[in-house]
Structure 1
């Protein structure tokens, strides 16, 4: 049980870091894609797929 409790903050830290990184990339994509057209959605979809 102790090991699981110790690893939990690391897991949540990693998730928070990933979310921060996602928003950074999302902002970059939004700047590059005018009006967020289908190409932008495609790039976002590919980025999301890389996590699953």
Structure 2
């Protein structure tokens, strides 16, 4: 369960607090990028790798 979601600035950037178990399971670090997709009432969080072209 995501515990907290709040706006971090005037531009609408959001910050989410994700339980440590999920972070470890997904292999997320401070440098990770994620894609967040809303499907119905469910947020899907997927780790992504950004590469230059």
Q: Which has the higher strand share?
A: 2
| TM-score, normalised via structure 1 length | 0.22
Larger radius of gyration: 1
